[in-house]
Structure 1
Amino acid sequence: MSSTQNLIDTAGVEKLQTLTKSAAICLMATSLQKRPLSTRPMSTLQVDDGGNFWFFSQKTSQKNSELRENPEIQLFYTNMASSEYLTVYGHATISHNQAKIEELWSPIAKAWFPEGKEDPELTVVKVTPLEAHYWDTKHNKMVQLVKILAGSIIGRPLDDGIEGRIVV
């Protein structure tokens, strides 16, 4: 059993930023109309103040090819340590926005883009959320464990979860 708390605008963006800081790697699914989904782990570089998600991607990657064919995208985040979960459905755009590349660049990206910020294979993927849903806990792990144990003893679940839609 959990409580519902839907978040909009600034509160929604702040929740997206908080959840993605603690679970920076997501599973990114493309070609949503096909089965099985085409999915791969991706490092989230930023959730900006407009709620957009930003990633680096190789220009000639299968992912970019799939996004050019159909820009629908689904992101899945999990932070097991804090029992936080997020799913984001959105629309992706691919660009060579050099200013955004400069802003998001870090030396670790050179492992994928050896020519650095000027690598011709380097693109940015911007995901604009159309729908998002999160699941979170109200308390830390110790309180969660106590509530689970108490619930098993008294024979009913004790509310420790919170979930909701996020609209930005």
Structure 2
Amino acid sequence: MTQASDLDRVWALAEKIGFCMLSTLSDGEILSRPMAAHAARDENAFYFLTDAQSDKDEEIGDNPAVGLAFADSSGQKYVSIAGRATISNDRDKIRELWSVPMKAWWTGPDDPAIRVLKVVPHSAHYWDSPGTVVSYVKMIAAGLAGTRPAIGDTGTARM
């Protein structure tokens, strides 16, 4: 595959999956938590709404290197992205990203505790398989034939 097609695949998979595990570094330990990602390919960025009092905000302030891990295990589709994160109080972006499910955490888009977490990716790796059943059938066939299975596409992309 070409760099452009690998990049297209990364963005398409991340957008389709939608949720990821955001990983930060805290006192030498990697910590991950699930987050709803808003992919903005035209800006080469992923956006998240976060709380001003969360530990991740402080962790990102100390070390902005983060990882995003998208997984659709039932479809056997995965994307791992490395990037740099920043936290802002961009009220226009908060209103743009706001959706009704966010009311579980905040009163509304004008809640003063909401912040925008922006991740600018620099590299990614993806695995895109045809699905669990097809993958298992191909693995069994390859095992019986003594060959390696061809169970999907994998690639990397500079972002």
Q: TM-score when scaled to structure 2?
A: 0.88
Work out which of the residue numbers 124, 137, 143 in structure 2 matches 1:146.
Answer: 137
Deviation at 1:45, TM superposition (A): 2.6
Alignment size in residue pairs: 159
Aligned partner of 1:133 in structure 2 is 125
Quote the offset at 1:20 in angstroms: 2.0
Q: Secondary structure at the match of 2:109?
A: helix
Q: CA RMSD in A?
A: 2.0
Whether 1:62 aligns to 2:58 is no
Q: For the residues of structure 2 that align with 1:7 and 1:109, how far apart are their CA atoms?
A: 35
1:135 to 1:145, Cα distance in 2 relative to 1, 3 A: same
Secondary structure of the structure 2 residue equivalent to 1:49: helix
Q: 1:67-82, aligned counterparts within 5 Å?
A: 67-82=60-75
The two structures have a TM-score, normalised by structure 1, of 0.84
Larger RCO: Structure 1 or Structure 2 (Cα < 8 Å, ≥ 6 residues apart)? 1
- Does the alignment pair 1:7 with 2:7? no
Structure 2 gap ranges (5+): none
1:38 maps to amino acid? L
Matched with 1:28 is 22
CA distance in 2, matches of 1:113, 1:15: 33
**Structure 1 alignment gaps of length 5 or more:** none
User: Match of 2:34, as an amino acid?
Assistant: P
Q: Deviations over 1:100-128 (max 9, x none)?
A: 112211011011112x0101110111100
**Which residue is equivalent to 1:159?**
150
Percentage of pairs with the same residue: 31
